[in-house]
């Protein structure tokens, strides 16, 4: 008799591409895993479990067990569509171990563009404020970074997933209502923070959001972002006209190959797609007249990179927003070392199957059962048919709830 095909479960990481939400990344993974030979044993074992559950309940199936069987997936910390990098994924019983990745150390690389603030603290939102940026220098930014190292207090972005009295903060902004309590700062740790590249004005592909917030929206956001209002109040009468004139000067002196480079850059196109003004599509964007900086950081759980970009802009007497983000490491998973490339999925199971099997085998080796891991690449939870499927499924370790 041939050996039963093992069920593979555990935790791995995938390199999430830009313009794809974390939830969509999981759906894309499921699309490839569900019909695959690699996860056929998992599907079969889950069917046996459901049959056993039904037998114990006199043939009745719960609503959950009436749903089509899909490989169970979950992620260990979301990445915005704007962001790329490590997305930790739990498969099967591995989803029970994802909480540890929410609390672990992460390494990020971001680009902050100065001179403007958006309602989302990044290029996906609408511009709510502008501020002078001509005075900002590389040394000024390097000096300002010092105050963000170590154990610090950080205020989450207004459009984060945090809730106040059961309502998400962005809902107050959209409704034009005041937050009933002050948005509290939270303790975070920044163990490493360095500027790895200084980007001179007009020389980089990053830019402010194309869409400007309506006056009503700006007033609503001002109520929720008192820090932005206070920081720019001193220069409020100088913002719009000087910035507009300076932008014209930079554009007139920057005709050349850079705009074409921006047009062909997939990341820039994806970043700007949700906020493009259809009346201005035909007009190609020119380089941003403000400087930008690429920053790498190692941070604790609960750290908001968008907040750092916003706060760094204020620290240099201007405004700032996040234009790019990559998570290069999360816990034990690191790009270029033990992360599945998303593009491998489209190359077929012959490519991604062995790679994913190896990654889950390594997870099992590093996290043996009894030490917080899973010993699931085994015959304990068989994928091959048994003489009495219901009895076999009942005797096998139960799968995680779907």
CA-CA distances (angstroms) from residue 13 to 21, 91, 132, 220, 363?
Answer: 15, 10, 41, 39, 10
338 near 332, Cβ under 8 Å? Answer: yes
344 near 194, Cβ under 8 Å? Answer: no
Two structure tokens written together for 121:
């603290």
CA-CA distances (angstroms) from residue 90 to 8, 96, 174, 342?
Answer: 11, 8, 34, 16
In terms of DSSP H, where are the helices of 166-319? 169-175, 215-224, 226-232, 240-252, 258-264, 266-272, 305-315
Nearest to 125 by CA among 183, 13, 58, 212: 212
Two structure tokens written together for 309:
């970009």
Q: Which of 28, 80, 222, 344 is catalytic?
A: 80
Q: What angle do CA 8, 41, 72 make, to 5 degrees?
A: 60
* β partners of residue 334: 329
Please identify which residue in the block is written with the tokens 């207090």: 153
- Dist. CA 266–CA 396, nearest whole Å: 48
Chain centroid to CA 79: how far? 1
366 is catalytic: no
Two structure tokens written together for 144:
């300002």
- Dist. CA 162–CA 61, nearest whole Å: 36
DSSP letter at 148?
Answer: G
Nearest to 327 by CA among 316, 315, 336: 336
DSSP string over 282-330: TSPPPPPSS-EEEEEEEE-TT--HHHHHHHHHHHTTS-EEEEEEEEEEE
Two structure tokens written together for 122:
């990044």
Query: So which residues are the catalytic ones?
Result: 80
């Amino acid at each position: 008799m041939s050996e039963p095909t093992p069920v593979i479960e555990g935790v791995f990481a995938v390199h999430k591409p830009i313009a794809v939400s974390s939830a969509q990344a999981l759906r894309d993974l499921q699309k490839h895993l569900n019909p695959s030979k690699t996860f056929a044993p998992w599907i079969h074992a889950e069917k046996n479990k459901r049959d056993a559950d039904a037998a114990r309940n006199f043939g009745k199936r719960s609503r959950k067990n009436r749903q089509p069987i899909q490989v169970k997936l979950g992620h260990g910390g979301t990445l915005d569509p704007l962001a790329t990098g490590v997305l930790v994924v739990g498969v099967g019983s591995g989803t029970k171990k994802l909480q540890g990745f929410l609390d672990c150390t992460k390494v990020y690389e971001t680009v902050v563009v100065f001179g403007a603030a958006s309602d989302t603290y990044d290029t996906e939102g609408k511009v709510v404020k502008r501020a002078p940026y001509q005075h900002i220098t590389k040394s000024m930014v390097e000096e300002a970074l010092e105050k963000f190292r170590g154990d610090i207090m950080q205020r989450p972005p207004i459009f984060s997933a945090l809730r106040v009295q059961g309502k998400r903060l962005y809902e107050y902004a959209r409704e034009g209502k005041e937050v009933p309590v002050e948005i509290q700062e939270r303790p975070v740790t920044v163990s490493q923070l360095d500027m790895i590249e200084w980007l001179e004005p007009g020389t980089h592909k990053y830019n402010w959001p194309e869409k400007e917030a309506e006056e009503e929206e700006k007033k609503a956001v001002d109520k929720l972002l008192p820090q932005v209002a206070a920081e720019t109040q001193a220069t409020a009468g100088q913002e719009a006209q000087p910035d507009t004139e300076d932008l014209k000067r930079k554009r007139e002196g920057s005709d050349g190959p850079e705009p074409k480079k921006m047009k062909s850059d997939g990341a820039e196109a994806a970043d700007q797609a949700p906020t493009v003004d259809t009346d201005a599509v035909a007009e190609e964007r020119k380089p941003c007249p403000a400087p930008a900086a690429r920053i790498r950081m190692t941070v604790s759980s609960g750290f908001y990179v968008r907040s750092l970009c916003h706060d760094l802009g204020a620290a240099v007497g201007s405004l700032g927003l996040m234009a790019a983000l990559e998570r290069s490491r999360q816990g034990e998973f690191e790009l270029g070392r033990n992360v599945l490339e998303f593009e491998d999925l489209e190359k077929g199971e012959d490519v991604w199957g062995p790679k994913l099997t190896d990654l889950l085998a390594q997870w099992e080796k590093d996290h043996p059962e009894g030490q917080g891991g899973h010993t699931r690449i085994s015959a304990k939870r068989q994928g091959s048919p048994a003489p009495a499927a219901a009895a076999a499924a009942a005797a096998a370790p139960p799968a995680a709830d779907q």
